[in-house]
Structure 1
């Protein structure tokens, strides 16, 4: 619902009057878009049982999409692209893997898109200090001593993540999550800067009225909502995922199998801290797969829309894998750079960067 109302849906709620306003750069100007509240018990979704891992959530997503396309078969033959941001760096690879594992599926999956995602924590946690300390294209937001504190904390953090990668043990992975987030991310939190946009102070961004809109009685009645209220983040569900060790799993290992069947786009707004572009660029460059050499040698090309007067980012692509850096955008690229984002999206689903092999 945040993606729907704050980023890329057909309407936004820009003011306290809670009246929807048409969004000219909606991603549904060239596609039909489904917005899902998941995992269960997040947003308006509900269940008597919780899920605590991405793998478990993938079963629900596959069941939902299968039922949807069975109910609306006129859409089942159309190209289907799966997209998400942030923790969807976990969701999208595992959901795609689940869909592609069913040969008798009625889901015509054609590609996957991940925006500012957490996919390979072992690699990505290494780039928190560089991003915070002036190596990501923006001035440092930390003192030299704080940058050193982050450097000092990294070795133990990465050692714990590697143990998680090696064992997939829930307690081992939970320990890695708690240690790394306290020791590495804690220093950044004390800076008072925004996790999602290093250019601004925490809490200083554009206000969102989507929560108020979704919690209004009129909207809830119109939607037939069967929960008491909308919450953008369910802390209980979040805690369950952390306790189950899901956070630090090596999700990137699912990407090579995906690339054998569908194109994958990793894009990142370059002002984000928490899933920053440096870390996303690093893991895509380091990914072990048959196209690694071609991807490493691929030239970085500028991105510019047909109507644009300046480049809005750059792209590197080879054999079904693409990485894009989007300039002057934080964690939520479509919110910060709506016109470039829809240009990127429309060109992507149009197949501009799909492998022709």
Structure 2
């Protein structure tokens, strides 16, 4: 998630995102389907020329023609056994951040060095799975539109259309297990997107599970845990003075009352004030310390997201030769679009109870993994543990009584896990908000075990 919060509603300075465009690239394939008459998929074969990985790759756009929406994607085939390995869709959060951040900074085949050259990642998630990185909603990353999407429900319909056309173009993958993974605001996205997919009984692909890392899913439960995390109860020493911790505690009752009103009404008139008041009261004191909201152990430096190396990714993806090989049609790539972030806030989307969709997924017997790096502040493990423990699904009573077990990678403890049936919570030791960045080897073990069907670790 990004942080750029006004103090009052009157200070919300919103503007519509400008349409992004440039000369149109030549694409190798154009795909359409009678079931989706307003959608078209364009495909390029040339991203492999960039040397990010040696595997088969595709990039291009999903076009929603009657709405002038254009979603960019980049696909990497598995390094292992692509005919049998599963397919993973990866989504970054924000809302408004490009999934190419996940590609180059976290779990993709390569990172980008200071010389703007790719650096091989031996722990890429495409070691044993094919991975799709999708820039959504529109006006994020290489995606563009003259319009704007400002709520999770609308975004889910577009993602379903993308997947239908992708698997139509590449039918060799559509019978393989398919998983959706993501982090941060993907705690909103993924429950809704998966529910949208399950609502289409005629879908042409096999949704097998979902994975949410350090997500925001149940704010009413999670917002109580900012003060404990900042003030020494999450496994790290307190980073605030006692009076600051007390001020955060004092603000919680009103914060929770506002979130509850948002849950009950769904109105932006309830949800927007809840977002502004709670984020200023629960995140503001921490931000003032200058610490990294994504890793309580470090100070914020470099880009808007507190990591200097992210600047190299922006520079790389703005090179004309890179954009040409990928078919990118934007004048300028930005890792995060703060206008999109504020538009979602203005629509009241931030505080809505999307945890209800997780219940729907569990009752449909879809496996759900909630994982959380335990050094993150902004979507911390305490809050994620709490909402998974309180989730009112049919297996709640038995989930509550399950013992916490140690997750080991090799002979070392990598975290703690709790599982019942198709629901798993995993605390990742030493991971910040972006677990694959901080713990690449352990994150790969996590995803490999999960997609292989290991629900208990």
TM over 0.5: yes
Which residue of structure 2 aligns with residue 5 of structure 1? Answer: 104
TM-score by length of 1: 0.97
> 2:313 aligned to 184, 205, 210, which one?
210
Aligned to 2:392: 288
Deviation at 1:58, TM superposition (A): 0.3
**Aligned equivalent of 1:252:** 355
Normalised to the residue count of structure 2, the TM-score between the two structures is 0.76
Which of the numbers 440, 444, 447 marks the counterpart of 1:338?
Answer: 440
3-state SS in 1 of match to 2:134: coil
Aligned equivalent of 1:195 = 293
Larger deviation: 295-304 or 28-37?
Answer: 295-304
In structure 1, list runs of 5 or more residues that go unmatched: none
Question: Alignment partner of 1:193: what SS?
Answer: coil
Does residue 325 of structure 1 match 2:427?
A: yes
2-side partners of 1:115 and 1:234: how far apart? 21
Match for residue 414 of structure 2?
312
Listed one character per residue, the Cα deviations across residues 316-341 of structure 1 (whole Å, up to 9, x for unaligned) are 00021100000011000000000000
How far the C-alpha of 1:205 sits from its partner, in A, is: 4.5
1:213-228 superposed matches below 5 A: 213-228=316-331
Answer whether contact 1:171 1:244 (CA < 8 A) is retained: no
CA distance in 1, matches of 2:308, 2:346: 32
Say if 2:446 is the partner of 1:347: no
Size of the aligned set, in residue pairs, is 352
1:268 counterpart = 2:372 = yes
Q: Distance in 2 between matches of 1:228 and 1:259?
A: 42
Match of residue 54 from structure 1: 152
Give the structure, 1 or 2, with the largest relative contact order (CA under 8 Å, sep 6 or more).
Answer: 1
Q: Which residue of 2 aligns with 1:45?
A: 143
| Cα deviation 1:132-188 (Å, max 9, x = unaligned) | 000000000000000001001111111100000000001210110011111221111
| Cα displacement (A) at 1:206 | 5.6
Q: Distance in 2 between matches of 1:76 and 1:174?
A: 40
Ranges of 4+ aligned residues in structure 1 off by more than 6 Å: none
2:403 corresponds to 1:299: yes
Partner of 2:172: 74
The answer on whether the counterparts of 1:320 and 1:354 sit within 8 Å (CA) in structure 2 is no
Contact 2:183 2:212 in 1 (8 A): yes
Q: Which has the higher helix share?
A: 1
Q: Is the contact made by 1:171 and 1:243 (CA closer than 8 Å) also made in structure 2?
A: no
8 Å Cα contact 1:294-1:319 kept in structure 2: no
Say whether the 8 Å CA contact 1:271–1:331 is kept in structure 2. yes
Farther-moved stretch of structure 1 (78-87 vs 212-221): 212-221
**Local SS of the residue matching 2:132:** coil
In structure 2, list runs of 5 or more residues that go unmatched. Answer: 1-99
Partners of 2:456 and 2:151 in 1: CA distance? 30
